Amino acid sequence: MPEAPVAEFQNIIKEYRRGFWRTPLHALQGVTLRIEAGEVFGLLGPNRAGKTTLLKILLSLCRPTAGQAFRFGRSVRDRRSLGRIGYVHENQAFPRYLSAAGLLHFYGALALVPYEEVRRRVPLLLQRVGLADRSQEPISQFSKGMIQRLSVAQAMINDPDLLVLDEPNEGLDLEGRLMVRELIAEQRRRGRTVLLVSHVLTEVQQVCDRVAVLERGRLIHCGDLKTLVSGVETDGVLPLERALQKLYQESSA
């Protein structure tokens, strides 16, 4: 029996109502795609393309207006599979009175990771993200880059089967960006799945196997990254950037 996709969206439509007249805003319009086990999958698109809404549906933070979404072969309404996901939000809002180690213990408990396993993982994760020497300091004293590093550690506390990275390089220095890139490569080697949402196209081109491109709520491309950028005339521009420009132009025509 073939393995179920890690995530699957079938004809997803999402409408929001806004203003006094409850005018509909079409955030997603018939999006269908699959994310397979073991791949690094990029979700791309301009601002307000629908990327965040799709993530919210995947993470059970909102429900689609129509269509179906699945995690690990089960409906996203079955929240038990959320424990298999790690999530790095682009703008984390951690309790600032907690220490770095305390925060990881807190999230470990939320994810139902056994206490002894959390105790083992916390120092290893803090070492991995470069915060071992700041483990007992309150988060209120952390810089934006340090908070982003801690966010990566938090997302890994449950050893996730699916790691969702929403703009993971936000605020990170070169060393931090390299750390994220190495983590993605390690997840791939272990057969785990990574969903990367990023505007940093150089990173996407380096690490992703396949990409989906959203534009104004519609899926305008989904496929192999190498195929997308092959044969593109770059004129000194990053191949992925040129390919996306072409997709957007064709979509608007």
Overall number of domains in the chain = 1
Contacts 24+ apart (CB under 8 A), 11-18: 11/66, 11/67, 11/68, 12/54, 12/57, 12/64, 12/66, 12/67, 12/68, 12/69, 13/64, 13/65, 13/66, 13/67, 14/50, 14/53, 14/57, 14/62, 14/64, 14/65, 14/217, 15/65
Q: Residue 20's pLDDT is what?
A: 79
Query: What kind and span of H or E run contains 90?
Result: none
What is the rounded average pLDDT for all residues in the chain? Answer: 93
Rounded to two decimals, what is the model's pTM?
A: 0.94
pLDDT on residue 18: 82
**CATH number (domain holding residue 125):** 3.40.50.300
- Residues with Cβ within 8 Å of 2's Cβ and at least 6 positions away in sequence, in order, are none
Residue 2 lies in a domain: no
Residues spanned by the domain of 111: 7-252
Quote the CA–CA distance of 48 and 53 in Å, as a whole number: 9
Structure confidence at residue 100 (pLDDT)? 97
pLDDT score of 2: 63
Residue 59 included in any domain: yes
Report yes or no on 196 lying in a domain. yes
User: Which token pair is 22?
Assistant: 């409850």
Phi then psi dihedrals of residue 29, to 5 deg: -130, 85
What distance in Å separates the CA atoms of residue 249 and residue 213, rounded to the nearest whole number?
Answer: 13
Domain membership of residue 94 (yes or no) is: yes
- Non-local (6+) Cβ contacts of 34 within 8 A are 5, 7, 8, 9
Handedness of CA 129, 132, 134, 136 (dihedral sign): positive
* Residue at 160 is within a domain: yes
Task: Kindly report, residue by residue over 10-19, the tens digit of the pLDDT.
Answer: 999 999 988 7
Tokens 């340090």 belong to 146
The pLDDT of residue 253? 67
Q: Which residues pair with 166 in a beta bridge?
A: 197
Angle at 74 between CA 70 and CA 77, to 5 degrees: 75
Tell whether 153 is covered by a domain.
Answer: yes
**Confidence at residue 91, expressed as pLDDT on a 0 to 100 scale:** 85
Taking only Cα atoms into account, the Rg of the chain, rounded to an integer number of angstroms, comes to 19
In-domain check, residue 1:
no
Low-confidence ranges of the chain (pLDDT < 50): none
- Quote the pLDDT of residue 1: 52
The model's pLDDT over 122-166, given as tens digits with 9 standing for 90+, comes to 999 999 999 999 999 999 999 999 999 999 999 999 999 999 999
Would 113 be classed as within a structural domain? yes
pLDDT (0 to 100) of residue 237: 84
